Structure 1
Amino acid sequence: MAKERILMYASKQWSLNAYDYQIQKDQSPFEIVASPDLLGENTVHQAKGFKVVSIFVNDKLSAKTAEALANFGVGMVVLRCAGFDNVDVEACTQYGITVTRVPAYSPHAVAEFAIALLLGVNRKIHRASSKMLHGDFSLDGLVGWDLHGKTAGIIGTGQTGAIVANILHAFGMRVLCNDIYKNASLLLIPNLTYVDSLDEMLPQCDVVSLHCPLNAHTLRMVDAEFIHKCKRGFTLLNVARGGLVDSEALLKGLREGQVGAAGMDVYENETEIFFHDRREAGIHDDNLGRLLLLPQVLITPHQAFLTRDALGTIVETSLESIRQYLSGKRLHEVQHSLNKAPK
């Protein structure tokens, strides 16, 4: 049986290994063709001759790129992630391209990482490790604070946000939640309350954790006004999308002490930086460079999802979507499709 070739944009060895393992395990008739490049208008030509392409969080699938994919004969785009703010789904549907995602590969992986960032930046674990590597075993600059008895604000209570809320509640924190849709699993938990207004929530919170999607309404929601409303010295956590935070406003808040600390696994201009080795090329983003130098900031390279469990779910889910497409299902008929059914 001839193997179906799948072009994987933004490929990395850890991702290729996970797909190769599952394909061999299932004896699936697929062959992954790796491209280290991001999908975009300048790289879309690589998709010529493929029916299926796979993309990740920083690829850009615009209307123009969708048209080019369709002209090259591509009928399916498989996202190896949950977020799809980088994809013009409407244009893909117009050109008959099926678009699928992995909606819940491991909310526990991301939630647990958010807690790791909070503990790391609060208890100065990254600073302690760096000091010891340089022979400094003193405790200067390593004072943190107890989470127990403090107040955390969770913005977005989908699966990941709800898990973070539960973990922080287990630490003995008072938890305030804000979301258009209330998560039923949280409603009966004592000392955990939904607050309708951020104006009411933010001044009370020692920790603010972001778990909402990136869209026109949430783009740079953490701006100077948002930060001004927060409790002085609060800790900001972001494991959702980099574009939720205005980095200029964050830097100003950190310099002035309004923001006490920040733990982030994402950055608003991460596309050409994260997932790449920049040791020789350097970092040409001044705001990121400044943030990385601040002792009260802990930034990681979009790795919150990166567990064996999550990778396994991503691979299994995306391969099953491809099987359904190749069996004849199209657009909204395929599992986890982003294409809307016709009215």
Structure 2
Amino acid sequence: MKVLVFSAKNFEKEYLKNANNKKHKITFTETTLSSKSAIQAVGFDAVSIFSGDKPCGITLEKLKDFGVKYMTLRSAGYDNVNIGAASILGIKVANVPNYSPNAIAEHAVGLLLALNRKLVKANNRVKQFNFNLDNLIGFDLNNKTIGVIGTGKIGSIMVKIMHGFGCHITGFDINENSSLVDNYNLKYMPLEALCKVADIISIHVPLNTDTHHLIDENLIEIMKPGVLIINTARGAVIETSHVITGLQNKTIGGFAMDVYEKEHDIFFKDLSNTIPTDDMLIKLNVMPNVLITGHQAFLTKEALTNIAETTIYNLDCWSEGVKTENELF
């Protein structure tokens, strides 16, 4: 099968090559898939896309016209794909549902620790041989209340890790996990109640119509003063402008994010020699109590291996005329 890999990153190419083992003819392009770049797929049976690609209906129609029959995502989330249009056009779509929930949860914990204990600020000082400890005070995680919004695969691991820190754990999810309640003393409660009691809020829900801008000014207003918010889910789960207001009025004590609702034309690129134009990101980036990573929570050897192997597995199934269990419709 001839496969064009859009948005190919240097860090993933070797993993894909090793997983493929020369079974499929793979071509890499750093170009993001769009209605304009879709023409590059002429002559290919399948395309592989990343979370930053946005195959809208028009793009999918072009891919269909160009002979593309399959689309394999190198991600778990698929909110960037018009699944309805793909189904109508007969383009099969599959994702990587379980590449490494540990990677995401552990990154969330890393963000929390760095934000709370001001590790980046401390390291920057020491680099200048400044060992002053003023304004570096954090708090013990032990006996604090953490609210885990979304207790699926990633959120469940977050619950287990924070239980090890001695936290009181509250959770919100439309599907409650009884084993977390029994084994880790998780207490489920309505979202509003969680926001009122949590010292820390960690977000682990998918992006859909119900979760879009889930965290907005109404919820922020009832949060505990000084709450820390960690988002490693999807950027648009948070109403960013409302979070900025919460930071400015000190309702929110700190904010760490690995995702951003306008990251499409920003993340995964080196923009260090350009003048930034995104006002919200500029504001966040200069705040001393904000920590930002560029969608790297998934970036572990284990996750990259699993993503590559599942991507090739999906292609293998299709080339053999077999439906992969990772198909999305």
Identify the TM-score tier after normalising by the shorter chain: over 0.9
Q: Which residue of structure 2 lines up, in the alignment, with residue 144 of structure 1?
A: 138
Q: Match for 2:97 among 103, 118, 135?
A: 103
Identity among equivalent positions (%) equals: 38
Q: Secondary structure at the match of 1:189?
A: helix
Q: Match for 2:160 among 142, 159, 166?
A: 166
Superposition deviation, residue 18 in structure 1: 1.3
Superposition deviation, residue 48 in structure 1: 1.0
Q: Which residue of structure 2 lines up, in the alignment, with residue 281 of structure 1?
A: 274
Instruction: Give the total of aligned pairs.
Output: 329
Structure-2 separation of matches of 1:28 and 1:317: 15
Structure-2 separation of matches of 1:258 and 1:165: 24
Superposition deviation, residue 77 in structure 1: 0.4
User: Structure 1 stretches of 5 or more lacking a match?
Assistant: none
Q: Which residue of structure 1 lines up, in the alignment, with residue 248 of structure 2?
A: 255
Deviations 1:263-314 (A, max 9, x none): 1100110111110011112322111111111111110000000000000000
| Pairing 1:199–2:189 present | no
Structure-2 separation of matches of 1:190 and 1:162: 10
| Pairing 1:11–2:8 present | yes
RMSD (Å) for aligned C-alpha atoms = 1.1
Q: Which residue of structure 2 lines up, in the alignment, with residue 35 of structure 1?
A: 29
> Bigger shift: 109-118 or 177-186?
177-186
> Bigger shift: 14-23 or 211-220?
14-23
Matching of residues 287-298 of structure 1 within 5 Å? 287-298=280-291
Q: 1:50 to 1:190 in 2, by over 3 A?
A: closer
Structure-2 separation of matches of 1:289 and 1:21: 39
Structure-2 separation of matches of 1:210 and 1:283: 27
Is the CA contact (8 Å cut-off) linking 2:142 and 2:167 kept in structure 1? yes
Q: Secondary structure at the match of 2:271?
A: coil
Q: 2:232 is matched by which residue type in structure 1?
A: V
Is the CA contact (8 Å cut-off) linking 1:208 and 1:236 kept in structure 2? yes
Matching of residues 57-72 of structure 1 within 5 Å? 57-72=51-66
| Pairing 1:336–2:326 present | yes
Q: 1:120 is matched by which residue type in structure 2?
A: A
Q: Secondary structure at the match of 1:271?
A: helix
Structure-2 separation of matches of 1:100 and 1:323: 12
Q: Match for 2:300 among 294, 300, 307?
A: 307
Structure-1 separation of matches of 2:211 and 2:128: 41
Deviations 1:76-126 (A, max 9, x none): 000000000000111111111010000010000100000000000000001
Q: Match for 1:135 among 129, 132, 146?
A: 129
Q: Secondary structure at the match of 2:265?
A: coil
Is the CA contact (8 Å cut-off) linking 1:262 and 1:296 kept in structure 2? yes
Q: Secondary structure at the match of 1:143?
A: coil
Q: 2:294 is matched by which residue type in structure 1?
A: P
Q: Secondary structure at the match of 1:172?
A: coil
In the TM superposition, structure 1's runs of 4+ consecutive aligned residues that sit over 6 Å from their partners are none
Is the CA contact (8 Å cut-off) linking 2:225 and 2:253 kept in structure 1? yes
| Pairing 1:316–2:309 present | yes
Structure-2 separation of matches of 1:39 and 1:184: 41
Structure-2 separation of matches of 1:17 and 1:146: 41
Q: Which residue of structure 1 lines up, in the alignment, with residue 172 of structure 2?
A: 178
Superposition deviation, residue 190 in structure 1: 4.9
Deviations 1:6-55 (A, max 9, x none): 111111101112112223xxx33223211112111121111111111000
Q: Secondary structure at the match of 2:233?
A: coil
Superposition deviation, residue 183 in structure 1: 1.7
Structure-2 separation of matches of 1:294 and 1:134: 20
Q: 1:21 is matched by which residue type in structure 2?
A: N
Superposition deviation, residue 335 in structure 1: 2.3
Deviations 1:237-277 (A, max 9, x none): 10000111111111110011000001110011011111001
Is the CA contact (8 Å cut-off) linking 1:48 and 1:73 kept in structure 2? yes
Q: Match for 2:202 among 209, 213, 227?
A: 209
